[in-house]
Amino acid sequence: MTRSYRKDSASVGKLTPEQYRVTQKDGTERAFDNEYWDNHEPGLYVDVVTGEPLFSSADKFESHSGWPSFTKPVIATSVVEKRDFSHLMVRTEVRSAAGDSHLGHLFKDGPKDQGGLRYCMNSAALRFVPVDRLEAEGYGEYRAQFGTDRSDSTAGSDEGAQQ
| Domains of the chain in sequence order | 9-132 (2.170.150.20)
Q: Return phi, psi of residue 81, to 5°.
A: -105, 135
Strand order in the sheet with 91-96: 60-61, 69-70, 118-121, 102-107, 91-96, 79-84
pTM score of the predicted model: 0.86
Q: Which position among 120, 124, 126, 134 bears the catalytic label?
A: 120
Q: Is 120 among the catalytic positions?
A: yes
Query: C-alpha distances in angstroms, 34 versus 76, 81, 101, 127?
Result: 25, 23, 17, 12
Give 15's contacts (C-beta < 8 A, 6+ positions apart): 23, 24, 48, 49
Average pLDDT, 10 consecutive residues per value, the chain (163 residues): 78 96 96 96 97 97 96 96 76 94 95 96 98 96 79 40 37
